[in-house]
Amino acid sequence: MKLSTLDQVDVAGKVVLVRADYNVPLKNNKVTDVTRIKKTVATIQELREKKARVVLISHLGRPKGHNMPEYSLRPVAASLYKELGQVPVFFSDETIGLTAASLIDSLQPGEVALLENLRFYPEEERNDENFAAKLAQLADIYVNDAFSVCHRAHASVDAITKFLPSYAGRLLQEEIRQLETQLHSPRRPVMAIVGGAKISTKLNLLKSLAQRVDVLAIGGGMANTFLHAQGYEVGQSLCEKEMKHEAVQILADLSRRGCVTILPTDVVVAAEPVAGVKSRIVPVTDVPKDQMILDVGPKTIDDIVSNIDHCNTLIWNGSIGVNEIAPFEYATMLIARHTALQTQSGKLVSIAGGGDTAAALNQASCYDDFTYVSMGGGAFLEWLEGKPMPGIEALHHAAQEGIIAFENITLGKE
């Protein structure tokens, strides 16, 4: 698919509106994980060096169209200042309108500004063309550098490409290159590890993987639903019992294809998911009715690791246990580190995706040892499912067809 890139545009003196993904965790108005911020630095610095005036836009959280201070991007500006080597990052309390326009007009070539949360405006998630036109009025060029939101048909991702010359940023380019290179014709055997809380959110992914991989390991809360579907007692564990039929169907599809399916054979149980709680390892046949499954046991870990050793490509999305609480992060940490060692030894291509997965790899201190880690959560899943990506499709159409004029758009005044 043809996309225009920064190699094809002169940005000197131009206002470049960059759609980034700064949907980062905050605590006490400080960013607690700067991974997503670091990922955008390459594009920003290139634009600065080419004397562009850089204006960053992003969403944060789910304020549902309301101005909610706890979802302000202001703390991101402080973190970005550090990651850019103490380059000033000017901040606007508004995303569109005169305040934002005035700040942008004051920027000098090479300077950087960050506008307030896009999702403070309900028009953003409605893919409203009028809102997109107001954003476009602020700039000369649009750059999408947020693969992780390309599965959303939102105004700052889709509609805006109708009003500005539109290009892929370096991070987006690299995401697409890696996913196409490593996953289009992967080295077999291919293994996938899929974790997370619910199969209802990953049903299409599981169905797609059933047709594409040789080994599928299922962990996290979703494994409990599969165990329930097989008739096992799962006690007080997170379990979507209403998804039993779908779980049975997926297992049947995997069996028909000859795909090796790994489900827990032993698990770590406790009364509740809190630090310091008493836990123990039991076979899946002996889960107490008053206990919860919070991680997999050593036999299951050995099974997963052994299969990794016999595969050439690994796709990973979602945690295997409750990573936030010790000791239930053990399986995820051990398997992540083993995968990293296999990757670094040249025996394995490892592709991981999703914010939670990336956080787990950071926790295991092996993020940089995987072949590639995509920051896309839902976008990564939909790419694996083979679904069209509105943000990427929009850039493709922009490269092919150009832009439309502003006529018939009511810009108004803010």
Q: Just list the catalytic residues.
A: 36, 198, 355, 378
Question: How many whole angstroms separate alpha carbon 356 and alpha carbon 362?
Answer: 10
Among 136, 170, 178, 129, smallest CA distance to 153 is for 129
Among 257, 64, 50, smallest CA distance to 143 is for 50
- Whether residue 327 is preceded by a cis peptide bond, meaning omega within 30 degrees of 0, is yes
Question: How many whole angstroms separate alpha carbon 360 and alpha carbon 304?
Answer: 17
Burial class (CB in 10 A: 0-12, 13-18, 19+), 312: middle
Query: In angstroms, what CA-CA distances link 182 with 10, 187, 217?
Result: 31, 8, 20
- Are the CB atoms for 149 and 105 separated by under 8 Å? no
Supply the Cα-derived Rg of the chain in whole angstroms: 23
C-beta neighbour count of 43 within 10 angstroms? 24
Amino acid at site 181: T
